[in-house]
Amino acid sequence: MTEALCDRRPEPTLERLLADLVPPPRFARARLDNYVPDPAFPSQEDAKQRVTEFAAQLGRPQGGGFLAKFRRRPTAAQGIYLDGGFGVGKTHLLTSLFHAVEGERVYGTFVEYTDLVGALGFQRAVDLLGQSVLVCIDEFELDDPGDTLLMTRLIRELSDRGVAVVATSNTLPDALGEGRFAAQDFLREIQAMAERFQVLRIDGEDYRRRDGVTEIVSLPEGTVREHAQAQEGATLDDFDDLLGHLKTVHPSRYGSMIDDVPAAHVTGLHGLSQHHDALRFVVLVDRLYDREVPVLVSAAAGEGGDDAEVFSDLFAPDLLRSGYRKKYFRALSRLASLAHDGAGRLGADGRAGA
């Protein structure tokens, strides 16, 4: 019988939470020398050079000898904030920096760090992370004031201990001035330590569009079900059931919920009009994308039907105009890529296409 994600209720241990503080599989091979800047956007080359220099600085000896014992506290560390639209290579640069630096370093998304603080308590989390040379924070969020203040306090305390912190944001690539606005929001929230961060604006187009992957491929429901049943370890879920299940699982556990899943299958895909459902689904898409799990989807009746080749309107127009729109547009891009990979599995697995 084919398993469903709805059957999974992960309870990750503290050891698992700590073990997950590394770059996700999709970016395991990301390095500075294989980041290829788009010549049409010079800020990409500038960011690559600055991150390269920053990695070299972290690798330099900090000095010691006779004077070291008189130092009462480490010098506050400098950091970088990579600001820009989705798909311009910010995560690639962040993971490349992680791999370029030696010593203790950790990497996680904003929500993974907030969950770690919740599991450990603030001071214990500071003591643990404070042993690192570098802390990488992907997808820094400004949506929840409480979480934002928690994370900015964490950053400040880590920086005071001499830990370098590098973070990324996501903004719409075509929203004039909005990338700068996000950077200003970030700096205002951490105004007590703003001088410790250099903001690097990275312009460009979503790299996934370079491959022509712009739309979510919808397959006939029968094809999706048949493929799911034929693939060992694959999951099959009705979209509404999945949305209901996501309410019962903390978003920080969505990654462990898809452990060892070779492909995810979803039937009855339809448009979303409520933020709470949409934002939870965005986090699931992010974790599927990070772990390179292909997704095969079929649209619900009335959403294109079994004969549809493209699914559109996943998020209602008012959601795409909201303060969360950067998340929604990123999710559309990533789900289109995953669905393209999923549709490609049909031929690769020796099955008939849609």
**pLDDT tens-digit profile of 224-233?**
999 999 999 9
Among residues 304, 294, 302, the alpha carbon closest in space to that of 227 is found at 294
pTM greater than 0.75 (yes/no): yes
Residue 282 or 325, more confident:
282
- pLDDT at position 174 is 41
Half-sphere exposure of 255 (CA within 13 A, CB side): 21
Residue 178 predicted with pLDDT over 80: no
Q: Retrieve residue 74's tokens.
A: 């480490």
DSSP assignment string, 112-172: HHHHHHHHH-HHHHHHHHTT-SEEEEES---S-HHHHHHHHHHHHHHHHTT-EEEEE--B-
Residue 250 predicted with pLDDT over 50: yes
**Contact at 8 Å (CB) between 337 and 177?**
no
Task: Provide the pLDDT confidence category of residue 67 given band limits of 50, 70 and 90.
Answer: very low
Residue 65 parent element (H or E): none
Give 309-334 pLDDT, tens digit per residue. 778 889 999 999 887 888 898 899 99
Residue 65 predicted with pLDDT over 50: no
Task: Report how far residue 159's alpha carbon sits from residue 162's, in angstroms, rounded to the nearest whole number.
Answer: 5
Characterize the bridge pairing of strands 105-109 and 134-138.
Answer: parallel
Task: Provide the pLDDT confidence category of residue 216 given band limits of 50, 70 and 90.
Answer: very high
Residue 96 or 211, more confident:
96
- pLDDT at position 311 is 86
Per-residue pLDDT, averaged over 42-66, amounts to 81
Q: Which domains does the chain have, with CATH numbers?
A: 31-205 (3.40.50.300), 209-348 (3.40.50)
Residue 212 predicted with pLDDT over 70: no
Residue 60 predicted with pLDDT over 80: no
**Contact at 8 Å (CB) between 216 and 332?**
yes
Among residues 160, 42, 48, the alpha carbon closest in space to that of 94 is found at 48
- pLDDT at position 43 is 95
Task: Provide the pLDDT confidence category of residue 345 given band limits of 50, 70 and 90.
Answer: confident
Task: Report how far residue 108's alpha carbon sits from residue 95's, in angstroms, rounded to the nearest whole number.
Answer: 10
Find the angle CA(283)-CA(284)-CA(289) to the nearest 5 degrees. 100
- pLDDT at position 73 is 45
Task: Report how far residue 10's alpha carbon sits from residue 12's, in angstroms, rounded to the nearest whole number.
Answer: 6
Per-residue pLDDT, averaged over 228-247, amounts to 97
Lowest mean pLDDT of 147-151, 158-162, 323-327, 344-348, name the range.
344-348
C-alpha separations of 349 from 232, 343, 353 in Å: 12, 10, 10
Residue 276 predicted with pLDDT over 60: yes
| Cβ-based burial of 26 (10 A; exposed 0-12, middle 13-18, buried ≥19) | middle
Task: Report how far residue 351's alpha carbon sits from residue 65's, in angstroms, rounded to the nearest whole number.
Answer: 67
Task: Provide the pLDDT confidence category of residue 61 given band limits of 50, 70 and 90.
Answer: low
**Contact at 8 Å (CB) between 171 and 85?**
yes
Half-sphere exposure of 263 (CA within 13 A, CB side): 25
- pLDDT at position 206 is 73
Per-residue pLDDT, averaged over 92-114, amounts to 93
The DSSP bridge partners found for residue 135 are 106, 165
